[in-house]
Structure 1
Amino acid sequence: MWHHIYWMLLSGTATLVTNGGSRSPVVGFAICALVASSAIWTSLRKRRNWRKPVSKRIYLLDSLFNNDLKPVATKGRIETLLDTFREFDRGNHTRELKALYRGQYRGDEHSFDYELYHFHYVRQRTVTTTDSQGNTSTRTVYDHYYRHGLLLDFPFASGIGLSADSGLKFKGERYRSASNTFNRLFDVRAEDEMSAARFLSPAILELLSGLGKSLKDAVLEISAEGRLCLAFDDDDLLSQKPQHDLNNPAAFVEEIAGHTELVKLKQLLDALHGIMRLSDNNFGRARKPRKLLMIESLILLLPLLVLLILVITIYNGIIGKHNAVDRAWASVLTQERQKNKIIPHVEQMVEQYRMHEASVLKEVTALRSAISDLGNGVDTAKLAQAEQRTTALLKGLQVAVEAYPELKASETYSQVMAEISEQQEQVGAAIRIFNRNVEDFNNAIQMFPGSLVNGLLCRKARIDSFSDSEARGGFDYSPNL
């Protein structure tokens, strides 16, 4: 049908050009061909770069397919997310999901479904300007912002918000952890301080600190219903750049034939899986202050005022770092005393299998005694004794169990050793946080001008860090399968 219409139009145009056939038809068709060629050439020139966006779209679809990410309808989702997460309560004009994909993560201990989203919101503001003649004009400005993130179920905690974005503040009780690094990165709010303390174990603090450093304006929010949202400004989760495009079709086809791995997305999912693994056993920007009026009488006092502020800042910094050491030590003690819950299981296992290993029972008694000797004051020597007793007990168990094949193959032994391994991982993480805080504190009191302020006002003594490499590294148990 279309080719008939084409030739009819071409014939009609030729008739008009040749003045009803009075001129040569060849001339008419030549003129028509020239006009058509000019139009086609102009159109192709305007679209000479069409291959690049098409290549980019093909590469994105191939990446989604290779990583098992499927598009999801976004209609009505933004309203649900607004009711669930504070993260989506941004802007005052438009909020929309530009894209939403669903995938599945399979880890060693947990598998979960997740959604990857691209969020767009708009802030509307009014700008008033005055020209050189004093005429005032008002116009409306729309500022566009984009956020990206992951959504998934997280049944291990609820009602907790962590924000590294100064433009987003959560409600609730503020919580400060034992890690100075984490406290500098995130502002933490929770329904109650105890729920935040249970969730933010030392090992999780390390994981989240790494996320906070690698992501821009990161926000981690766990709703009251047990849904988790990890949001950030980074836009490179799906932005893998192809090396070739349709300008070189053979190379482009060969490239997309391979598997495109979304590296950053996998790293984030691995981190969330680590948070799950460590949790499943655990019970608008602020406005700047207005400028102070410059009064001549204050100029004379300015140097003294600056010095006073500097001294107060350094003093408070030293006290804060010392308190951070105390909090970190308290966290170490808590993790050490958690071993008292494991010791009865060891004794029960020894009694159940009638293990008459005097050395094992002796190490159990020695470990319990070493843990009870740990006081609230920092004492790394006693901590070293407790860790040495723990190591001795583990080695004693591993040697003794060789004589009891039925015990080595039992589920009881595997559970006890796995529980000890996880507890030692928590102890190791707590000790690493303690050592970092000790280093921060010692630097604060030994470097000038902190050393001067400490000598005159604080009078805090240097604290020794803990240097047991086995305890810092933790204990890894892998059952014999």
Structure 2
Amino acid sequence: MYSQHNNAVKQLSEQLEKDFESAKNSDDLYRLVEKVIAFGKPLKYTNKPIYLLMLGIVVVTVIIMLFNVSDPYAYNDSNIGGYLFIVMIGAIMVLGIYALKRNEPITDLSKEIFKKKILFDNQLIPEKYDGVQLASELQVCFKDFNRGNHTREIEMLGAGRYEGKDHQFDYRYYQFHYVVKKREWVKVEKGHSYKTVYYNFYRYGIYLTFPYVADISLDKPKAQGVYRPASNEFNRYYTVNGDSQIMAAKFLKPMVVKIFEEIYPELKEIHFDFSKRNQLCVSFNDNLLNISPIYNLSKPTEFLQELKESKAVAKLNTILSYIEQLMTYSDSNFDRDTESS
């Protein structure tokens, strides 16, 4: 009976994994969860056979040890009881870990389904990529990816399309993970010692083609920079860096400066990088798509209802609308129309 149930769980889980990989929209995810509801039983492996096996190992070992007249804790060649005790502990540990972890993929699938639904609700299509390679490529284009001294990886990437009144553009939303490795002098039981520690950090952002300016970045207000607009508020928020003062001055017209001032309070540690390849990367510390589920596939009916609730993030659209405004006021065609009106 247990074997039949576990085989059914295994077959359904494998099918759900395939359905998840091929899901193109929210309806595909709904149908996936509906299969779990139709299953009619908990989508989890039963561990009773494993627990019975563990009990059997203990009973057999104890019986053998009772017939062993030697000291069970003296580990020598004649002490079969001692060896059996070690084998018993090892077998129980392996079986116990297996029992605890065998349902983790199902729990992880619930989380991935929820994450994918968030992307769909925000008109983002998940993309397949090599996270380490992509982080390396983006580091060449944008200096905000030059962070950490250990691993760097793009952990999430979604492709979107913004349809604005004046401009339409494709963009990518990403989650960037980087690690800082340090050797620190730490306190131990007998004094101090050096220890290697790893600190994990995350950045999020949007990158897209921006053909109106190149090789300019808006960084933290530290140094003088190549150009300072007349606005004191702007200069409190940003330092303008780049190769050309003339290009920076031409780009940072009063309306463009105002947009940068308005967007600054929206996000933490915001950074703008207009690359030499006419691409823009807007990066920040805010995880805009950070929504946690309440339910999972262990309660498929409730999970389905939760999935069907909209998870659109208004702030993402706000940032995209600011980018459209930057395009509008940087577009030479717009300037000519404005000047002639």
Same-fold status (TM-score > 0.5): yes
Cα deviation 1:249-270 (Å, max 9, x = unaligned):
3343234235432322211111
Correspondence 1:201 to 2:253? yes
**How many residues get paired?**
258
1:92–1:51 distance in 2 versus 1, CA, 3 Å: closer
Is the 8 Å Cα contact of residues 101 and 116 (structure 1) preserved in structure 2? yes
**What's the CA shift for 1:36?**
6.0
State how far apart, in whole Å, the 2-side matches of 1:154 and 1:270 are.
Answer: 14
Whole-Å separation in 1 of the counterparts to 2:50 and 2:302: 36
User: Alpha-carbon deviation of 1:275?
Assistant: 0.8
Greater Cα shift, 148-157 or 90-99: 90-99
Give 3-state SS (helix, strand or coil) of 2:312's partner.
coil
Counterpart CA distance in 1 for 2:180 and 2:294 is 37
Shift of 1:33: 9.9
Matches within 5 A, 1:265-344: 265-281=316-332
Bigger relative contact order, structure 1 or 2, given CA contacts below 8 A and separation 6+?
Answer: 2
| Distance in 2 separating the partners of 1:248 and 1:3 | 22
Query: Which residue of structure 2 aligns with residue 65 of structure 1?
Result: 120
Structure 2 distance, partners of 1:250, 1:58, is 14
- For 2:272, the equivalent position in structure 1 comes to 220
Specify the SS of the correspondent of 1:175.
coil
Look up the match of 2:165: 108
Encode CA deviations 1:98-126: one digit per residue, 9 max, x unaligned.
22222211111211111111111122222
Q: Following the alignment from structure 1 to structure 2, what is the Cα–Cα distance between the partners of residues 238 and 104?
A: 17
Residue 95 (structure 1) aligned with residue 152 (structure 2): yes
Q: Which amino acid aligns with 1:239?
A: N
Question: Contact 2:225–2:239 (CA<8 Å) still a contact in 1?
Answer: no
Aligned to 2:178: 121
Q: 1:224 to 1:46 in 2, by over 3 A?
A: closer
Q: For residue 97 of structure 1, give the secondary structure of its aligned residue in structure 2.
A: strand
Greater gyration radius: 1
Whether the 8 Å contact between 2:153 and 2:177 is mirrored in structure 1 is yes
**For residue 182 of structure 1, what is the aligned residue in structure 2?**
234
What letter matches 1:64 in structure 2?
L
130 and 52 in structure 1: CA distance in 2 versus 1, 3 angstrom threshold: closer
Q: TM-score, normalised by structure 2?
A: 0.64
- 1:216-255 correspondence to structure 2 within 5 Å: 216-235=268-287, 237-242=288-293, 245-246=296-297, 248-255=299-306
TM-fit CA distance, 1:279: 0.8
Residue 116 of structure 2 aligns to a residue in which SS? helix
Residues 165 and 150 of structure 1: CA distance in aligned 2, closer, same or farther (over 3 Å): farther
CA deviation profile, 1:135-166 (whole Å, cap 9, x unmatched): 55222222221111111111100111101387
Name the CA distance, whole Å, in 2 between partners of 1:60 and 1:136: 43
Question: How many Å apart are 1:218 and its aligned residue?
Answer: 0.9
Q: Whose helix proportion is higher, 1 or 2? A: 1
Instruction: Name 1:35's counterpart in structure 2.
Output: 52
Q: 1:83 to 1:33 in 2, by over 3 A?
A: closer
Preserved CA contact (<8 Å) 1:222 1:229: yes
Which one-letter code corresponds to 1:82 in the other structure?
Q
Whether 1:83 aligns to 2:140 is yes
1:261 alignment partner in structure 2: 312
Q: When you count strand as a share of all residues, which structure comes out higher?
A: 2
Distance 1:130 1:256 in 2: 48
> CA offsets, 1:194-220, max 9 Å, x none?
211211122222221122212111110
Is the partner of 1:72 in helix, strand or coil?
coil
Q: Provide the C-alpha distance between the structure 1 equivalents of 2:291 and 2:184, rounded to a whole number of angstroms.
A: 38
Question: Matched residue of 1:149: which SS?
Answer: strand
TM-score normalised to structure 1 length: 0.46
Gapped runs of 5+ residues in structure 1? 7-30, 284-337, 343-414, 422-481
Alpha-carbon distance change, 282 to 189 in structure 1, aligned in 2, over 3 angstroms: farther
C-alpha contact (below 8 Å) 1:199/1:282 kept by paired residues = no
User: Which of 195, 209, 216 is equivalent to 1:139?
Assistant: 195
CA distance in 1 between counterparts of 2:186 and 2:96 reads 46
Q: 1:72 to 1:163 in 2, by over 3 A?
A: farther
- 2:158 touches 2:172 (CA, 8 Å); kept in 1? yes
- Counterpart of 1:211 in 2: which secondary structure? helix
Identity rate, percent:
31
DSSP 3-state at the match of 1:238: coil
What do residues 162-208 of structure 1 show as CA deviations (whole Å, max 9, x unaligned)? 01387xx8xx9432112211111111112122211211122222221
Whether the 8 Å contact between 1:165 and 1:219 is mirrored in structure 2 is no
Q: Secondary structure at the match of 1:158?
A: coil
Task: Report the counterpart of residue 43 of structure 2 in structure 1.
Answer: none
Amino acid paired to 1:35: L
Give the conservation status (yes or no) of the 8 Å contact 2:267–2:285. Answer: yes
